[in-house]
Chain A
Amino acid sequence: GQNIDQPTEMTATEGAIVQINCTYQTSGFNGLFWYQQHAGEAPTFLSYNVLDGLEEKGRFSSFLSRSKGYSYLLLKELQMKDSASYLCAGEFGGGNKLTFGTGTQLKVEL
């Protein structure tokens, strides 16, 4: 299978900026998704990167480097409601196969 690695847990302060990193094996790679999942809820889509570079969407930005097998999710002006699990997911091969990383549990504190 495809290895997708991200930190297990992170803690940050309300109003601050946090960067969640994700690395993956580049073989067969098509694109990379970031999802947010609150406890007991379904994952919700945040971003999709296919090309190298930074995609900005409000307080959330996502970066991709295809050659390095690396992505990050940047969250600005953190709010308490941003406390959630952030899932990095890679799309590999040609058949709708999305593989999730272990998820990063982000805790936002006062």
Chain B
Amino acid sequence: DTEVTQTPKHLVMGMTNKKSLKCEQHMGHRAMYWYKQKAKKPPELMFVYSYEKLSINESVPSRFSPECPNSSLLNLHLHALQPEDSALYLCASSQTASGVNTGELFFGEGSRLTVL
């Protein structure tokens, strides 16, 4: 199984809603990532978890809250978002040893978020 599965594929939410994006992988990878991608732009790193611990937070606003319940799951909790947060949110995973990436990132197909 070399898949990273993300749900939901599409999400529409209002600025007062609370929702969550979910990501799952069963490749035994110990590094998991959230990226944000706007149209015709490259993915921008948001968070990195290494061995279920948050290792990188790229100064992401607190309305985005990541969670790594176990080595296979990664969530992104969303609250009080703004319309400019509408984007494709990509989850990825990779092998890691001592917190250093040792290979390719496997990406999920993304969750397309629209904030009204």
Asked if A45 and B99 sit within 8 Å, CB to CB, the answer is no
Main secondary structure of the interface of A (DSSP, over half): strand
Asked if A96 and B42 sit within 8 Å, CB to CB, the answer is no
Main secondary structure of the interface of B (DSSP, over half): strand
Asked if B109 and A41 sit within 8 Å, CB to CB, the answer is yes
B48 CB to nearest chain A CB (Å): 5
Asked if B104 and A97 sit within 8 Å, CB to CB, the answer is no
Nearest to A4 among chain B residues (CB) is B42
A98 contacts across to B, CB distance below 8 A = 33, 45, 101, 105
Asked if B109 and A42 sit within 8 Å, CB to CB, the answer is yes
A43 contacts across to B, CB distance below 8 A = 43, 90, 105, 107
Is B16 positioned at the interface, with any CB of A under 8 Å from its CB? no
A30 contacts across to B, CB distance below 8 A = 100-101
Known contacts A43-B107, A98-B101, A100-B44; 10 additional CB pairs below 8 A are A45-B105, A48-B104, A91-B101, A96-B50, A96-B56, A96-B96, A96-B101, A97-B45, A101-B42, A103-B42
Interface residues of B (CB under 8 A from A): 31, 33, 40-45, 48, 50, 55-56, 90, 94, 96, 99-101, 103-110
